[in-house]
Amino acid sequence: MIAEIGLLLLIIALVISASLSLLPLFSHFAAKRRAPNKAILGQCEPKLNPYIALLTHLNTLALCGAFAILVYVLVVSDFSVAYVANHSNTQLPMIFKVAAAWGGHEGSMLLWIVATAVLASIFVVKNRNKPQFCSHFSAAIALILLGFLAFLLFTSNPFERLLPNIPVEGRDLNPILQDIGLVFHPPLLFMGYVGLTICFAATIACLLDTGKQLHNNMLSLRPWALFAWITLTGGNAFGSWWAYNELGWGGWWFWDPVENASFIPWLVATAYVHSLWLTQTQRRFYASTAFIGLLGFSLCLLGTFLVRSGVVQSVHAFASDPSRGISILTLLFVSCCGGYTLFVAKYSMLANQGVNNRNAQTNTAAMSVFLGILLLVIAALSVLLGTCYPLIFDVLFGRTISVGAPYFNSLFIPMVALISIVMGLAPCLRFKQQASFKPIMLAAAAISFGASLAVTLPLALGFQAALGVFAACFLAITLGYCAYQAIKTSQINSRFIGMFIAHLGLVVSIIGATVVSNFEQEELLRMGPGQGKELAGYTFIYRSTEQVSHPSYEAIQANIEVQDSLENTISFITPQRRTFNTNAMQLSAAGVYRQWYGDLYVSMGQALSDSEYLIRINYKPLVSWIWLGAILMMFGGVVSMLNKALVTRRQYSVTKTSKTVKQEATHAM
């Protein structure tokens, strides 16, 4: 009965979403009937605003209840529910029973819907002093939720029953997903998608309400864009770390189509954050900001289509159901048509909005940032082209081709170098009046170029390695110059600190990616007890093999001793070959000895004899810097987000105080 309550709550949410999406339209016709000459298209009657907020919160409550019920049936192992039977098992640890709520297609879509409703309620509360803007936003987000809920109920019902044939035991969660990465990676990624969903609906509301409030309405989107960027950064970084640790081959990024599906929205979210900053400081670029706000959500839906339709094959893919893919493609088509049609209709108003009274220095800085935004969007579209090209080629010519890492690296790495140059120059243009600006920039370029040659030529490294070294050096030097000038001119504030930390994080990630990609050492060999191998100044000695038991699997574990150049033991690395109890699936779990300057990575392959196994040994210098840089980027985003919240609160307090003073003055008169 509990699963039927969850299904009923989803149906209630569907009805509420339909009502919310139509309420502003009914309100407009009611206003037009009362005053035909005064009614404005899309304007809601003020008395309906409390009902719009109430319905928004009720919708959130119903969806949260449905998700709580899904978690409950997973925890109690109710195998009469198909989703539980397909993604859980009585032997599954409790943490993975809960995480299984988003470990499958149906549950992950429900998480996206619930999170969207929750953040929509928060958005309505925070913008309650803008009733017209809120009514348009609520209608737009309700339409999105209506489409998602219809998709969920008709193609992916998470509460579908298996009656009367109820299995005694579930199929278990996919062994690849039985990792701590499942607890953090999908929720972070979906929070990023939700943030861009909120920005899409709010952009629609801005386009419907162009006028004097356009600037303030767009400014209210910056915290949400930052939230989407922070969580997408964490989602992509944690996914990379998860693949590095779990899949056993030691790669941290493979340009897999599913990886690209989450990376492309991150690039667009990065462009969107900077575009909103331009709009805030320059009071222009409204059209480009609105366009990118619409683009982000569209690319999230496109990525969802790639992951869940079965058109691409990947170890990361959620589902392979063409009917679901057609439904998601329909949602993508409807949202794009509606959003971009409205954008085209309002483009002239957006282009003419604002003032252009900035001096040449400010315009130069602004155009540098705008160039960086353009490069980010081009980079996102380039990755999208490489991801979708095999599908397009197959449809047009009926032949299968593959686009792999060489294409993406040859295109994306030069793009990163260009973006790094712009990222280094744009903040420095604030201090252009200083006489040392041009010499410093020329010196930074010369030092970076010299460093790239000094590192790559003696070691016979390629052009891509040189670009990575150049980008990291130039960005690091210009950031240092910005910090020096900011301290010298007393321009240090929380916004500058957030920008500095986030850009520094990118420098750290570029260094890590460049070093590990070009200086990694690897050996693939046959090893058994007593055998050893030297690599990167370390000696790896295979000491023993043992059996390891776990509630979910049985494992063969290799105990490998690691010695330094002085033959001192520094660690034991224990890679495993796991066989899961429920489905006999085998999985290699790598053993990693982590150091800040490089990881020792050992994975265990198939048995080659009674006592020998295929062993892969890797030395991965600075690989942890990739994820350290991502953490710094997230922290910088949080600092900027907190700064925005403090400024908004301070402005609200000042506005409230001024209103109180005016009221007291009126009473005194």
pLDDT single digits (tens) 608-627: 998 899 999 999 999 999 99
Tokens of 543: 């000491």
- Report d(CA 329, CA 323) in Å as an integer: 10
- Report d(CA 39, CA 33) in Å as an integer: 9
Note the pLDDT tens digit of each residue in 199-238. Answer: 999 999 999 876 668 888 998 999 999 999 999 999 999 9
- Report d(CA 91, CA 104) in Å as an integer: 18
Query: How far is the CA of 251 from the CAs of 256, 500, 519, 522, 574, in angstroms?
Result: 11, 29, 14, 12, 19
Residues 428 and 478: beta-carbon distance below 8 Å: yes
User: Can you say whether the dihedral through the CA atoms of 507, 510, 513, 515 is positive or negative?
Assistant: negative
Q: Residue 158: which of 90, 89, 81 has the closest Cα? A: 81
- Report d(CA 468, CA 452) in Å as an integer: 8
Q: Residue 533: which of 553, 566, 562 has the closest Cα? A: 562
CB atoms within 10 A of CB 351: 13
pLDDT of res. 669: 42
CB atoms within 10 A of CB 146: 20
- Report d(CA 109, CA 148) in Å as an integer: 8
pLDDT of res. 69: 97
Q: Quick one: DSSP state of residue 574?
A: -
- Report d(CA 86, CA 105) in Å as an integer: 11
DSSP β-bridge partners for residue 586: 579
Q: Is 438 exposed, middle or buried (0-12, 13-18, 19+ CB in 10 A)?
A: exposed
- Report d(CA 24, CA 51) in Å as an integer: 11
Q: Residue 533: which of 617, 590, 595, 591 has the closest Cα? A: 617
Strand, coil or helix: what is 42? Answer: coil
Residues 70 and 101: beta-carbon distance below 8 Å: yes
- Report d(CA 313, CA 317) in Å as an integer: 7
Tokens of 445: 């370029």
Q: Residue 637: which of 295, 126, 273, 377 has the closest Cα? A: 273
Which parts of the chain sit beneath pLDDT 70? 25-48, 210-212, 310, 312-322, 354-363, 432-435, 644-669
DSSP H/E element including 607: strand 598-607
DSSP H/E element including 123: helix 105-126
Residues 100 and 78: beta-carbon distance below 8 Å: no
